[in-house]
Amino acid sequence: MKIATYNVENLFDRAKAFNEDTERSRRIVEQEAELNALFQQAVYTPSVKQRMLELMETLGILRSDNGPYVLLRRVRGQLLRRPKSGPVAIVADGRGDWVGWAELKMAHVNETAIMNTGRVIRDVDADILAVVEAEHRVALKQFSDYVLSKVDGAPYPNVMLIDGNDDRGIDVGLMTKTGFNIGLMRSHIHDLDAAGNPVFSRDCSEYAVETPGGEIIWVLPNHFKSKFGGNDAASQRKRKAQAERTAEIYHRLSGEGHTNVVILGDLNDTPGSAALHPLLSGTDLRDVSAHPAFDTGEFPGKGTFGLGNDSDKIDYLLLSPPLFRRVTACGIFRKGAWPGSRPKRWSVYPELERQLHAASDHHVLWCEITPLPML
């Protein structure tokens, strides 16, 4: 059986702000988050109202609810007054006076890139595929049914995604082939840290997958806090807390007698980082990239992002020791990722003519495991 993980960076729609350069994207995302945090305050003091107005002006939603990158959703009650002449004023005195929020506008992913994503998933041909940064379950199901069929691939009959904590449509899901049935599921979107905030930026969902041979494999797709816009102390603490909680979940599964566990996905940090230490060194999980059979393909780097350099290893496929011992082949699939141009580092699909056409900036990690005999 083949297990893989792939950060698709959205299937059909992605926050429009992400189409800008990194610094501008970071500012837009941070400002939208700050404005929503202010909206949640019970009391709007004069200084809070002033900051709201400043952020709304910067985001282009001061005079209109429809900004270039952000929408202001006003459902009930009154937040502000926009006179035909004169300054805009916040008239709500707190969260209880109105219902609404700011949200990032979405834009369509390039059509050629969508098809290339389908080609990657078709060619990897995993029995169990963790998908990172999918919009929602319906989008993942539609992608499986329509896009995979369009590129002569086989749709996945089992598609599952639990909506996570991120409002930008970057959730983690699972697709499995016939005979690999998804059974018991657990979500950790409500796990809280000491300050009462969600531990996981998306989720660390647990899926019990029953194989054709009758054994149960626990699959835990994950997507840790991004370094997008910087890698400050708060970002590192967030990833470390996520690694610690994921390690706790793994130890619980092991303590319950589950020997077949896979933790996989985009952990957004490198193997030697302090943030990932609780998971990579604090457990007996084994990284497939350390397996003697690990194949990096045409390019020797073990990086899973960008141009594939070793310093760009941020995606992981971690196996419990009994599964690791059954690995017969493993590696990186890069054919849908931009290979650079001087020179090109690996072969790509003929349809990948420009960087815009790349299926994703991430590469696929996969492994093949010898199945147990039928029970």
pLDDT in tens, 249-280: 999 999 999 999 999 999 999 999 999 999 99
Parallel, antiparallel or unpaired: strands 70-77 and 158-161: unpaired
Helix, strand, or coil (residue 125)? coil
Do 300 and 281 share a domain, yes or no? yes
CATH at 139:
3.60.10.10
Do 269 and 352 share a domain, yes or no? yes
pLDDT at 234: 85
**Is 314 within a domain?**
yes
Parallel, antiparallel or unpaired: strands 315-319 and 261-266: antiparallel
Task: Find, among 293, 302, 314, the residue nearest to 369 by Cα.
Answer: 293
**Is 207 within a domain?**
yes
Do 289 and 328 share a domain, yes or no? yes
Sign of the torsion angle spanned by Cα atoms 45, 50, 55, 56: positive
Q: What is the pLDDT of residues 98-141, one digit of tens each?
A: 999 998 888 888 899 999 999 999 999 999 999 999 989 999 99
**What mean pLDDT, rounded, does the chain reach?**
93
Do 138 and 85 share a domain, yes or no? no
Do 203 and 228 share a domain, yes or no? yes
Q: What is the pLDDT of residues 61-110, one digit of tens each?
A: 999 999 999 999 999 999 999 998 899 999 999 999 999 999 888 888 88
Boundaries of domain holding 84: 18-107
Q: How many domains does the chain have?
A: 2
**Is 374 within a domain?**
no
Q: What is the CA angle 52-56-59, rounded to 5?
A: 140
pTM of the predicted model as reported, rounded to 2 decimal places: 0.84
Task: List the beta bridge partners of residue 81.
Answer: 89
Query: What distance in Å separates the CA atoms of residue 357 and residue 112, rounded to the nearest whole number?
Result: 6
Residue 271 C-alpha from the chain's centroid: 18
The DSSP call for residue 66 is B
SS3 labels along 3-60: EEEEECCCCCEEEHHHHCCHHHHHHHHHHHHHHHHHHCCCCCCHHHHHHHHHHHHHHC
Q: Residue 31 corresponds to which tokens in the numbers above?
A: 């400002």
**Of 107, 134, 163, which one is at a domain's C-terminal end?**
107
**Of 55, 86, 107, which one is at a domain's C-terminal end?**
107
Q: What is the CA radius of gyration of the chain?
A: 22
Do 58 and 186 share a domain, yes or no? no
Do 161 and 82 share a domain, yes or no? no
**Is 375 within a domain?**
no
**Of 107, 131, 157, which one is at a domain's C-terminal end?**
107
The DSSP call for residue 202 is S
- The set of residues, in sequence order, having a beta carbon less than 8 Å from that of 193 and lying 6+ positions away, is 199, 241
